[in-house]
Amino acid sequence: MSSTATRDPSRSSIGTASSYLSNVSNFKIIESTLREGEQFANAFFTTEKKIEIAKALDEFGVEYLELTSPAASTQSYNDCKAIVGLGLKAKILTHVRCHMDDAKLAVQTGVDGLDVVIGTSSYLREFSHGKDMQYIIDTATEVINYVKGEGLEVRFSSEDSFRSDIVDLLNLYRAVDKLGVNRVGIADTVGCASPDQVAELVRTLRAIVSCDIECHFHNDTGCAIANAYAALQNGATHVDTSVLGIGERNGIPPLGGFIARMYAADKEYVKAKYNLGKLRDIENIVADAVGVSVPFNNYITGYCAFTHKAGIHAKAILNNPSTYEILRPEDFGMTRYVAIGHRLTGWNAVKNRVEQLGLPLTDADCKQITNKIKNLADIRPLSLDDVDKLLRKYGQAKEDNSHHAILENIDTPDQITEW
């Protein structure tokens, strides 16, 4: 058997050396659509919609759901309690400021854990809360001890980690790790970090703390998914996502995009862990709720994600889908589509459609029809319905040997449409 036949086509053959730090095959998702996602410009989730989204994400299999702080509003407090009361498999977290009042209010809702955060960069210390590092450590100690005393999970995260002083940052993480937090978090709050910078910080952090490491990456410069992957490669354990990546400004790693990246890294792990066929439904729920469309080029579920057009691509895909697909659409409840009504089409794609329709046409017939499609598509692309009409008309005409006239008498796509 050839090496091509035995190799997993979803895995790259380059740079696959494993690292003892890597958690690429051992990570957890903290799904933040109901927290970070509420900060999306168009977002307004009713209680009913939050419950629908929470149930859908739970069915997908995310390990954690992160909710807006109960201190944000009365309804936010009530929504926390409502989602806690659903009895979902996912653990319910809420995101709170490093402040005792916020922590006490959050504990009252019955959540499983608190994600505590405070700004640590010089920008945020000067222009946001105005506190020094000693104040941050002292306040963090008080809040963490309280949350732990209530028997809840606690994550402590710096905000704007990548613009914070590294010495201050590491001293803070050492201090909270000694207090027994479940996780420390790093946050690329403004989306300025690169994968190399992420790898370096996470490796450094992994060497000084014994707890888990959570990562929160914004997508302002297009690196959110790559940064999340780099973090896991270098010892991080938890990644924040949101459906369609919605959030403050350009948002954070989209759940679907992150899943696509991790599927390519370890397909069997991801397939076993998550209900991948539910992804499209979740995205449709959220897209409808915030008044946007799922992008045409969306990871996995965009209508172009598994559409093949160029003739060379189409031929290879029809012979072996792994030639031009790193993701198997059927694993996500999706199907591939080979577009054929255009000037770039090839006769193998046309032949495949002929076979799907059950028409008794030869290879020579398919080649002649392909040439006609190309000529017509120079005027405008043909719809699949147009192509099917042409193929069927040609097949019927073969019965009385008038099929050549069919092609000769068509000058524009509109003639087919009007049949």
Tokens 């809040």, residue located: 143
- Copy the structure tokens of residue 36: 């970070």
Asked about 313 being catalytic, the answer comes back as yes
Q: How many residues can be counted in the chain?
A: 419
SS (H, E, C) 330-397: HHHCCCCEECCCCCCCCHHHHHHHHHHHCCCCCHHHHHHHHHHHHHHHCCCCCCHHHHHHHHHHHHHH
Separation CA 95–CA 201 (nearest Å): 23
Active-site pick, 238, 313, 342, 403: 313
- Residues 392, 396, 400: CA angle, nearest 5 degrees: 155
Q: Which helix (H) or strand (E) holds 3?
A: helix 3-6
Closest by CA to 399, choosing from 363, 359, 357, 372, is 359
Taking the C-alpha atoms of residue 378 and residue 396, their distance in angstroms, rounded to an integer, is: 26
Q: Return the active site residues.
A: 313
